[in-house]
A and B are shown apart, each in its own frame.
Chain A
Amino acid sequence: MNTELTGVIFTYLLTLALAIPLGRYIAKVFKGEKTWLDFLAPLDRFIFRFSGIDTKREMNWKQHLLALLTINSVWLIYAFVCLMAQGHLPLNPDANPGQSADTAFNTAISFLVNCNLQHYSGESGATYFTQHFVFMFLHFVSAATGIAALVVVFRAMKDKVTDKLGNFWEYFVKSITRVLLPISFVIAVIFAFNGMTTSYAGKDTFISMQGDTVHVSRGPVAPLVAIKHLGTNGGGWFGANSAHPIENPNYLTNTVELVAQCVIPIALVFALGFYLNKKKFAYVIFGVMTLGMLMLLIPTMNAELHGNPAIAKMGISQPNGAMEGKEVRFGPANSAYWSIMTTIISTGSVNSMHDSAMPVSGTMMLLGMMVNCFYGGCGVGILNFYIFIIVAVFISGLMVGRTPEFLGRKIEAREMKIASLIALLHPFIILVGLAISSYFLVNVAGADWAVKPSAWLNNPGTHGFSEMLYEYTSSAANNGSGFEGLGDGNIFWNYTTGIVMILGRFLPIIGPLAIAGLLANKKYIPESAGTLKSDTSTFGLMIFAVIVIIAALSFFPSLALGPIAEHFSLK
């Protein structure tokens, strides 16, 4: 077996080996049990005292949501103001200007919602101040928001009938001080010793071997790249993201970045098992997610390792696979693995350019974001999965003719309405966005924007269509990767994707929290012979079927017009 494939397998196994103990640790943190990081307790207490927060005051699900939405609104305003004013703020050694209102609107939302769609280039569109005080700050707190929301749902799934679901601030702060910050610190140190820059020095200039004058963008990259992956954010320092040789200098840093972005989403699945003491249920969820991951990964690896047939026809050898948009130090196999992990998990960082990937790979990446819960983002992946569980329980209940129950609670009309709305929201916002952009492309081609609609697409025909489909899918899934050829730096894309991102973030958090909160208040029915068991492989398959029908099939027509059509045209 060649070293590129062993590298991929090693990376995945290492992720699992770390995710299981991490899951156990996370469960302990949120159960309030003793852990070896308890020496940080004074830091937590200081933060709470400074902020005037009493963590003993328990909240019901509505109060949790109110706290979550309030603090997110504060961050949105803060980020927007900083981005507009960055030209006048300190830490701007390269003298970059402030962002325009529409770009700042898009960027602020994008980082707030853990999406990190970037309609600017880090080298020229941001300053060291905004990279750290806006982007890196939001990297931490948006990931912690997702984890805290998930912990509320964990708590609600316990068998006690209650509307008291713990304290949001406590979950949120502990997500940072006990999980995200310590691990990021370790990762950033590894990066620093592997060639990632850490200093605040600005651009450097040198004369190359051939006598060209070259300017090199630098900056304190390592701390940002650590949390960018650990928090499944994906918003990079440089325009080329983790394909950039400073942002991802070698195979070791690449492995660390890959493990970092997958480890918390997978650990949270195991954490659910440890927290509720239902390990088998966690294994079923993990099994379904892993099955989905493999079904997307294998065709992608296959397509990339075979290379571009159009280039093969020119007589060029592609010993390891397609190389357009890829880096030699990672190779096609690893780039294929990264492109799937980053799209099923909502990271959206890239170590190769997705726009240049084979059409089969593009289809799989799109499907990964359309489903958006094979592992999924920090916290929100399981929240998305939760919706599919509710739908699957309901359908199974109908099939066997009894009232559907999940973990001892009856699922009734109200919960089902919420679940259906959330499940359909995702295709709705993507396809409506796609329809509007297609309309503008054809009918308003000459509109006087920064990038005219006629110049939006970097590729003709079906591939151009895929670029627009990818942009909205990535926005709605809060992924943030792109078919970056798309000319998205204008009012149209900044506002439409901004709105899609914000809907695609908060409604899928509100829905599951509401369902879980409502269920926790219902009478607990102990398990009996007639109970539908949620920890069996049959139920796992049922969930998988629901995901395929709802998430994948609703997108089939748009996929057929885009990457699937391109695949059959490529000979």
Chain B
Amino acid sequence: MKTYLLPSIKLTLILIVLLAGIYPLAIAGIGKFTPGKGDGETISYKGRVVGYANIGQKFTKDEYFWGRPSAVDYNAAGSGGSNKGPSNPDYLKQVEGRIEDFMKHNPGVTRSQIPVELVTASGSGLDPDLSPAGAKVQVARVAKVRGLPVDAVNKLVDEHTEQPLLGLFGPAKVNVLKLNVALDGLKK
């Protein structure tokens, strides 16, 4: 073992410099030229940073589009899912509660119109997106609370719907934060 110990230690040292030092520093250097300068892309409204483009935040007021339920209450200094199994009775009760709450805030919406992502928690607890249907089902409520025409809000959702990658791969989605920022801008 002795024949191998010294080369092992030296090799470890030099590889630490290369792999944990030089490599990430080079990437950090290149990261300076990216849109968020490597710090993450932020969204501003009226000159104030109101969030990160990729990180979902809590929306509970009726005047905003709600995002998905979060197991970590949108705490972006942590992350995680509910890890509830599909047959867990307590979990199913919780989902039923979310459905009833959603219907109370959105009168006129039937159960079959509620897409499942609005009553289930995301994997990260920070999911920034909804499906287009998940946004559309809230349009009536948002328009009514804000006194806006339904058509105008519908159009806003369409404008903020991001198509699948190259139009071919993956789901379409709506970024809830960007949509709500645009919504606040609409009022003025």
Contact = CB atoms under 8 A, between A and B. Distances in A.
A4 B169 CA distance: 6
A461 B75 CA distance: 30
Contact of B57 (A67, A209, A220, A463): A209
Given A204-B40, A208-B58, A359-B87, 6 more contacts: A7-B168, A70-B1, A209-B64, A217-B77, A350-B123, A356-B82
B16 A209 contact: no
Q: Which A-B residue pairs are the 7 nearest by beta carbons? A: A198-B31, A485-B83, A243-B123, A315-B111, A463-B85, A7-B169, A353-B81
Interface residues of A, number: 118
Nearest to B90: A460
Contacts of B101: none
A173 B7 CA distance: 12
Size class of the contact patch on chain B = 35 or more
Interface of A: 3-4, 6-7, 10-11, 47, 50-53, 66-67, 70-71, 74-75, 78, 121, 123-124, 132-133, 136-137, 140-141, 169, 173, 176, 181, 184-185, 188-189, 192-193, 195, 197-201, 203-204, 206-210, 212, 214-218, 220, 222-224, 238-240, 243-246, 249-252, 254-255, 307-308, 310-311, 314-320, 322-331, 334-335, 350-353, 355-359, 458-463, 466, 483-485, 566, 569-570
Contacts, number: 373
19 contacts: A3-B168, A3-B171, A7-B165, A7-B168, A7-B170, A51-B11, A78-B12, A124-B78, A199-B38, A207-B48, A208-B50, A216-B52, A223-B23, A311-B92, A319-B116, A324-B91, A324-B121, A325-B81, A353-B83
Contact of A314 (B80, B99, B117): B99
Contacts of B83: 325, 353, 355-356, 458-459, 483-485
Interface of B: 1, 4-12, 14-16, 18-20, 23-24, 26-28, 30-32, 34-42, 45, 48-61, 64, 68, 74-89, 91-92, 95-96, 99, 110-117, 119-131, 133-134, 164-165, 167-173, 177, 180-181, 184
Contacts of A133: 16, 20
A569 B127 CA distance: 30
B11 A356 contact: no
Contacts of A335: 123
B20 A169 contact: no
B79 A169 contact: no
Contact of A356 (B18, B34, B84, B111): B84
B152 to A, nearest CB: 19
Contact of B58 (A212, A358, A484): A212
Contacts of B127: 245, 327-329
Contacts of B50: 206-209
A210 to B, nearest CB: 6
B51 A208 contact: yes
Contact of A240 (B1, B126, B168): B126
B122 to A, nearest CB: 6
B122 A327 contact: yes
B8 A195 contact: no
Nearest to A193: B34
A270 B75 CA distance: 45
B165 to A, nearest CB: 5
Contact of A245 (B84, B124, B172): B124
B79 A198 contact: no
A220 B24 contact: yes
Contacts of B48: 207
Contacts of A137: 15-16, 19-20
A169 B7 contact: yes
Nearest to A189: B30
Contact of A328 (B31, B81, B121, B129): B129
